[in-house]
């Protein structure tokens, strides 16, 4: 366990969501603070939906709060509270990290896609020209879809129970990245180079899988955004079939530098 000294000068950041017990970011952040000597702490906050707007209204006045991290299910709600957003956050209408500037303005960005792709690339998994299966088009899923499309996947299939949300994401990705072929179901010749579960399924140990692993190819890289358990039932089933996997905590590690860079920008 990391020992943290908190004083009146400590910068207090929050990570908010519901549920929140599964998040791994506080451990990563606070270990970084202890290692680097940063006088900062990250505190998890289980926030009711009715508290999202009041939270951000209040955060604008917290002078010792550099900002917060936002997780499921509040990424879209947080975006609605911003004064300014990054280009990707504005495209998606969602954010997962919000900086409080000295004048109280709230500036949002989204790092899910960046961190996810960084973790894949670090493991030697190519995205350009690949067939990518995305399961879930919420905040994290949309960010990942945008990032992999930006990096030149050949075909992107998006599975999402909310058809309106799915169709909106597919339409906007097709408009922004006309060379990427988008589908609401994988076509018969889909190679399944990478499969990503971007839904909460598996967070509470549900045995139901977001997609049948027997439909995946022998070389599919199977990934998940769920942080706890690290090896979800989906990843465990893929691993049992001999497939390579990438876990939610590995994605968190991949995006951490982007989060710190947004909360504590270089002067």
- Catalytic residue numbers read 75
Helix (H), strand (E) at residue 136: none
Cα 108 to Cα 48, 130, 265: the distances in Å are 20, 30, 13
Specify the 3-state DSSP secondary structure of 31. helix
Distance CA 187, CA 192 (A): 10
Distance CA 79, CA 164 (A): 19
Phi (first) and psi of residue 20, to 5 degrees: -130, -15
Place of tokens 């879209």: 76
- The CA-to-CA distance between both ends of the chain, in Å, stands at 31
Place of tokens 């917290």: 62
- Burial (CB count <10 Å: 0-12, 13-18, 19+), residue 154: middle
Place of tokens 């839904």: 199
Q: Is the Cα dihedral 205, 210, 215, 217 positive or negative?
A: negative
- Burial (CB count <10 Å: 0-12, 13-18, 19+), residue 106: buried
Place of tokens 């952040």: 29
């Amino acid at each position: 366990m990391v020992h943290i000294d908190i004083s009146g000068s400590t910068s207090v950041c929050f990570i908010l969501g519901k549920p929140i017990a599964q998040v791994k970011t506080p451990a990563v952040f606070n270990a970084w603070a202890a290692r680097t000597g940063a006088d900062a702490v990250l505190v998890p906050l289980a926030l009711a939906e009715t508290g999202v707007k009041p939270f951000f209204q209040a955060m604008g006045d917290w002078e010792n709060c550099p900002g917060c991290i936002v997780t499921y299910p509040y990424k879209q709600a947080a975006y609605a509270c911003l004064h300014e957003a990054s280009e990707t956050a504005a495209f998606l209408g969602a954010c997962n990290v919000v900086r409080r500037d000295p004048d109280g303005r709230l500036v949002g960005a989204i790092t899910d896609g960046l961190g996810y792709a960084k973790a894949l690339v670090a493991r030697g998994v190519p995205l350009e020209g690949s067939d990518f299966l995305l399961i879930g088009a919420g905040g994290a899923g949309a960010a990942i879809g945008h990032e992999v499309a930006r990096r030149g996947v050949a075909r992107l299939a998006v599975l999402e129970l909310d058809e309106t949300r799915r169709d909106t994401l597919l339409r906007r990705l097709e408009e922004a990245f006309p060379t990427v072929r988008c589908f609401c179901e994988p076509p018969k010749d889909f190679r399944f180079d990478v499969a990503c579960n971007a839904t909460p399924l598996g967070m509470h140990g549900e045995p139901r899988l977001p997609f049948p692993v027997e439909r995946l190819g022998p070389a599919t890289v199977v990934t998940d955004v769920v942080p706890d358990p690290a090896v979800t039932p989906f990843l465990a089933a893929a691993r049992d079939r001999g497939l390579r996997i990438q876990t939610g905590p590995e994605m968190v590690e991949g995006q951490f530098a982007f989060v710190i860079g947004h909360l504590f920008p270089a002067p």
